[in-house]
Amino acid sequence: MLKWAFVGASNIASEWMVGAVRAAGDEVVAVVSGSAARAAGFAQQHGIAHALDQLDGLRRLELDAVYVSNTNDRHEQAVLLAAELGCHVLCEKPLALDIGAARRMVDACRDAGVVMATNHHLRHNSAHRQMRGLLRTQGLGRLVAARVSHSVHLRAKLQGWRIDNAAAGGGVVLDIAVHNADSLAFLLGEYPVEVMAMSGSSGMGRGVEDQAMSLWQFPSGLCAFTHQGFNTPHASNRLEILGDQACLEARGVLNQTPGGELVWRRADGDLSLRLDHDNLYLRGLRELHKAIAGEDSDMASGEDGLRSLAVALAVRESARSGRRVKVDYA
List interacting residues with ligand NDP (CB under 6 A): 8-12, 33-35, 38, 69-72, 92-93, 119, 121, 158, 160, 175, 256
For the CB of residue 130, give the shortest distance to ligand NDP in the complex, in Å.
20
Q: Are 86 and 59 in contact (CB under 8 A)?
A: no
What does the CA dihedral 32, 36, 42, 44 come to, rounded to 10 degrees? 120
- Which residue, 208 or 246, is less far from ligand NDP as judged by CB? 208
Spatial neighbors of 205 by CB under 8 A, at least 6 apart, are 163, 164, 170, 171, 172, 211, 230, 231
- Which residue, 90 or 247, is less far from ligand NDP as judged by CB? 90
For the CB of residue 71, give the shortest distance to ligand NDP in the complex, in Å.
5
- Which residue, 172 or 325, is less far from ligand NDP as judged by CB? 172
- Which residue, 34 or 139, is less far from ligand NDP as judged by CB? 34
- Which residue, 9 or 184, is less far from ligand NDP as judged by CB? 9
For the CB of residue 103, give the shortest distance to ligand NDP in the complex, in Å.
18
For the CB of residue 146, give the shortest distance to ligand NDP in the complex, in Å.
21
Q: Are 309 and 92 in contact (CB under 8 A)?
A: no
- Which residue, 15 or 111, is less far from ligand NDP as judged by CB? 15
Select the residue whose beta carbon is closest to ligand NDP and give its number: 34
Calpha distance 252→250 (Å, rounded): 7
For the CB of residue 83, give the shortest distance to ligand NDP in the complex, in Å.
18
For the CB of residue 279, give the shortest distance to ligand NDP in the complex, in Å.
12
Strands of the 27-32 sheet, one edge to the other: 50-52, 27-32, 3-7, 65-68, 88-91, 116-118
Calpha distance 104→101 (Å, rounded): 5
User: If residue 236 lies in a helix (H) or strand (E), which one and from where to where?
Assistant: none
Handedness of CA 90, 118, 82, 41 (dihedral sign): negative
